[in-house]
Amino acid sequence: MKWLIDSVILIDHFNGVAAATAYLAGVRSDAAVSVITRAEVLAGFDRHAARTAKRLLDCFPTMPIDQAVADSAAELRRSKGWKLPDAFQAAIALHHRLKLVTRDRRDFPPEKHRFVVVPYDV
């Protein structure tokens, strides 16, 4: 695994952003999603549409939150002021030595956070 895909990338894909679809196709075999991403993505669909979303999400391993990740997320929340979901995303990526793939430059400017990759702009 190399990449942890943030929910915004998957949401872009479902909203028809071609750059997101192409990016996901290119990294599929080396990417994972977190339990946070899975929940955020599925929360945006009704039950019927969620089945389609689950089929895509099931193509990626899902990274859990364990005690070490939770402790790290708490520290990141305190030190960076991130919202807890963002702190969990960062903690999971850092714990597993993955690059966090997102478009969220406001919370995760890649020039400041070396573990962040912004693969495209919309």
Neighbour count for residue 76 (Cβ, 10 Å)? 19
| Tens-place pLDDT, residues 52-75 | 999 999 999 999 999 999 999 999
Spell out a b/e string for 78-112, using b for 16 or more CB atoms within 10 Å of the CB, else e: eeeebeebbbbbbbbbbbeebbbbbbbeebbeeee
Judge whether 23 and 120 are in contact, CB under 8 Å: yes
Domains within the chain, CATH numbers bracketed:
3-117 (3.40.50.1010)
10 confidence band (pLDDT: 50, 70, 90): very high
pLDDT tens, residue by residue, 74-99: 999 999 999 999 999 999 999 999 99
Alpha carbons 87 and 80: distance in angstroms, whole number: 8
Q: What is the mean pLDDT of the chain?
A: 97
The model's pTM = 0.95
DSSP character string of 93-120: HHHTT-EEE-S-TTTS-TTT-TTEE---
* 31-41 pLDDT, tens digit each: 999 999 999 99
What pLDDT sits at residue 49? 92
Contact between residue 4 and residue 93 where contact means Cβ atoms under 8 Å apart:
yes
